[in-house]
Structure 1
Amino acid sequence: MAATGTVDAVPAQRGACAGPGRVRDLRGAGARGARRLGFAQGDIVVVSGLPGGGKSTLIKRAAGEGGAIDSQDTRERWERRMPGGLPYGVYRPLVRAAHYWGLWRTLRSGASVVVHDCGTQAWVRGLLAAAARRRGRALHLLLLDSSPEEALSGQAARGRRVTAYAFARHRGAVTRLLREAEAGRPPAGCASVTLLDRPSAAAVARITFHS
């Protein structure tokens, strides 16, 4: 597998930089060869983007099972347990509680972790940043820049659409994150941001943590 090295060694291609390694724009890099994104042992990586934009696909492929916390996995486990036809809204609070309980246990362990985040949950990034600071490590953001059409197609492919209101809310939040990153300003608490479009995300073969 061809590796580009750690995230700090990947050259910025379009976005501005707000200091060494803080914003890296890989959009437009395409899928030419496999890419590995490396972070320090104990760091936390949060993957954000539109619903249906490819976050879970990236996490499952690149992070593996051991170091990943994906709310989609939690939802699917609960769906298998629930009676057929029971609306998700009925047991959604239980799914969220189970997801954050699993995340809390992983963060307490001090292990490196890749976390799924829908992009609208600034308070989640705040908690993750605080957890990273407590362990003396850093929080990094991987931000997927998918078009609304790509995201809606992804929702249709998995057979699960979000409401128009929720999608608009996610879209506004992700757009703000993209604008800030393109201006060289990572979100509060994030040591770095890596911007990915669909082709460049497909080229990420592994997310690794090294000592």
Structure 2
Amino acid sequence: MALLNAQNSVPTDNSASDIALSNTKAHLLTTGYKLIAQKGFTAVGIKQILDTAGIPKGSFYHYFASKEAFGEAIISHYFIQYKQRLDIIGSQNVSAQQKLYDYFQNWYDTQQNGCDHEKCLVVKLSAEVADMSEPMRKVLYAGYQQTITWLATQIKAGWADNSVPHLDNVAAESMAKRWYFAWLGASLIAKISQTDTPLAEVWQMTTTEMGR
């Protein structure tokens, strides 16, 4: 994306048009993200998305060939932003153990007390679209792998700085998967049971295994 010098540059008609188109697409993604995270993918129709966004139907199909392609784009955009949050945690000048603790504490805190659009997109869609949409399944899986890779990197760093216990015969990637799968499952069960007990259980397990 080109950056404009606010003092010396004035957007041309073409650049202004490009910005407007980009803003329209971003608005559609933001609106769809909120609706789908709240109600689920199948419960939200294109008309509802357009009505809520205040955007004509033709604009939707200018950017997205189908609702499935729209869902795929929402998930992809979500994980781009999620990676930025991981990078912020990873850049902190603290031990690897503290970075892991901060990551899971944030997960624990945001998944408690119900589910809104800031918390539950991946949890909701994981249970909904795996058998329904192969493109959406693939982008969800890629997002999972991105997070697991980050966790494994922090675990290895924790072994190196001696802040995380190194269990015999357990690879960092395996530990990262165990933790991530446990947390994802606990988040789903917390929604079903409408209690925070599953989250508390995996929180205790994870903090113990990371040496807290």
The answer to which structure, 1 or 2, has the higher relative contact order (CA under 8 A, 6+ apart) is: 1
- Per the TM superposition, whether the score is higher than 0.5 is no
- Could you say which TM-score interval applies, normalised by the shorter chain? under 0.3
What is the TM-score normalised by the length of structure 1? 0.26
Structure with more of its chain in helix, by fraction? 2
Structure with more of its chain in strand, by fraction? 1
- Structure label with greater radius of gyration: 2
